[in-house]
Amino acid sequence: MILLWMVLVPVLTGLACVITVQRTLRILFHVIGSVVTFAFVLYVVWDLAQHGSMEAFNQFFYADDVSAIILSIVGIVSFTASLHSIGYMQHEVSDGHIKVNQLRSYYLLLHLFIATMLFVPVVNNLGMMWVGIEATTVVSAFLVALYRTAEALEAAWKYLILCSVGIAFALLGLVVLYSSSVQVYGPAENRLNWTFLSRVAQPLPAHLLLLSFVLLLVGYGTKVGLAPMHFWLPDAHSQAPSPASALLSGALLNTAFFAILRMFAIVMRMEGSVFVSHLVLIFGILSLLVAFPFILLQQDIKRMLAFSSVEQMGIIAFAIGIGGEVGLVAALLQMFNHAMAKSTLFMTAGNMTQYYRTKNMGRMRGALQSMPYTGPLFLIAVFAVSGAPPFSLFTSEFAISANAFATGHWFGTALFLIVLAAIFGVMVYQSGRVLLGSTPHKEMMKERVGWTTIPLLLPLSFVLVFGLFIPHSVIEVLQHAALIIEGRAQ
């Protein structure tokens, strides 16, 4: 029942917010619902760390340590974005960017979006997982279009079209997977269940499994933002309200990656899985190479962060393609670290765009001086997401590089490190334009603090702490999750 309630609470919270007219009462429902949802997520993650797996409703719900990592990401980012939304969206109303009655729709969509992302890692049937991922697209598209400007509507339309094409490929992959399962074991309702396929994948026809994986990688890879299927991502992330952008980049991309990992784990249980690893590796390198020039030339601060997300998904794909227990642990750690740092960046960027009334970095100056709370948070998050020590992304990227060298991928690793170094330099340069110098305002405005800044300390604390120390219990969860993905554990 705990898994069901974890998904239902945000749905009920969203409905309570949309039917409540009085603002204070709506905010109260929103805060209580966010806290309860986060508490359910923490309990599920704690239980999974203790017992390894849990199931409910005749295995309709099933979660393991891979699910625990995705749930912890969605839980922390969602909780932070929910609290940040209170101050951010009120500011948007005050500035006239949205109407008061649109806030009710925003809170409904926000909580429905969280519910769909919590549903994906705990549903057992891969077909239902596909439904969950499609639901995240539909709900989040309305968030992207919330401002109802021509740019926002175009971004939402592009997001819907491209992700729908991608999800169609994923559906075709599931049909092929189901056919291979039925061909060997006969028709039954559990033939697309993860708990069934993870045990019996080896006798399935290899050519059908490989075809299924390629289709699913292209389909879900579109949602992940892997190049060259990433075209929806910069527009959607830049046009959505900043808390929604944080959710799109920090939580949704990893939720879609979870679906790829489930299929990857099935294919890894059969002979000839080297092709699959190489394919994921190529997508990873390609994403890194594509992201670099766009980060370099970008003027829109949120689009720059969006292309940084394409780079980060490339790093994770590269680590998964290299494989091995160390590589997979590092990939999962990179997922978590990136989610914490990038969600902080999007929300601090949101504070900056409200303060300077523009997303153009050429018109932002002196944020460290004029925004004494947001400026330092943005600076720390930039260095963190760029992989600088002592932050947690340095740890995971160092582990990825060391594992790649140790496994003999010399050329790929050298290319990987060169691109990372170049993107580090570009990110620091672009951020320096915003943070340094004197503010363009003749009369310096006072920065608004409270809901828009204090919640950001939560994800940032993980970036700082995990760079210095990772608890043994967390390492155990990561190692067991890596074994599941490798096909060496259930």
Name residue 63's beta-bridge partners. 54
pLDDT at 231 over 80: yes
Handedness of CA 4, 265, 213, 155 (dihedral sign): positive
Beta-sheet strands, E only, within 189-308: none
Q: Which residue has the higher pLDDT, 418 or 444?
A: 418
pLDDT in tens, 158-171: 999 999 899 999 99
pLDDT band at residue 206 under the 50/70/90 scheme: confident
pLDDT at 63 over 90: yes
Residue 303 · residue 237 · CB < 8 Å: yes
pLDDT band at residue 345 under the 50/70/90 scheme: very high
Residue 190 DSSP class: T
Mean pLDDT of 456-472: 94
Q: How far apart are CA 428 and CA 296, in angstroms?
A: 11
Which amino acid belongs to residue 381? A
Long-range contacts of 263-266 (CB under 8 A, 24+ apart): 263/126, 263/173, 263/177, 263/212, 263/213, 263/216, 263/217, 263/220, 264/213, 264/320, 264/485, 265/66, 265/198, 265/484, 265/485, 265/486, 265/487, 266/177, 266/197, 266/198, 266/201, 266/209, 266/213, 266/487
Q: How far apart are CA 345 and CA 392, in angstroms?
A: 15
Maximum Cα–Cα distance for the chain, whole Å? 74
Q: What is the pLDDT of residue 444?
A: 60
pLDDT in tens, 105-158: 999 999 999 999 999 999 999 999 999 999 999 999 999 999 999 999 999 999
Q: What is the pLDDT of residue 270?
A: 74
Is 422 buried (19+), middle (13-18) or exposed (0-12) by CB count in 10 A?
middle
pLDDT band at residue 217 under the 50/70/90 scheme: very high
Q: What is the pLDDT of residue 272?
A: 60
pLDDT in tens, 286-319: 999 999 999 999 899 999 999 999 999 999 999 9
pLDDT in tens, 424-461: 999 999 999 899 987 766 556 777 778 899 999 999 99
Is 301 buried (19+), middle (13-18) or exposed (0-12) by CB count in 10 A?
buried
Residue (of 9, 24, 34) closest to 84 by Cα position = 34
Handedness of CA 27, 28, 29, 33 (dihedral sign): positive
pLDDT in tens, 364-414: 888 998 899 999 999 999 999 999 999 999 999 999 999 999 998 899 899
- Specify the range with the lowest mean pLDDT, choosing from 219-228, 269-278, 428-437: 269-278
Residues 6+ apart with CB under 8 A from 107: 14, 17, 18, 26, 30, 85
Other CB atoms within 10 Å distance of the CB of residue 296 = 16
pLDDT at 462 over 90: yes
pLDDT at 363 over 80: yes
pLDDT in tens, 10-50: 999 999 999 998 989 999 999 999 999 999 999 999 999 99
What is the share, in percent, of the chain residues with pLDDT greater than 70?
98
pLDDT at 254 over 90: yes
Q: What is the pLDDT of residue 171?
A: 95
What is the share, in percent, of the chain residues with pLDDT greater than 90?
79
Average pLDDT, the chain: 92
pLDDT at 355 over 60: yes
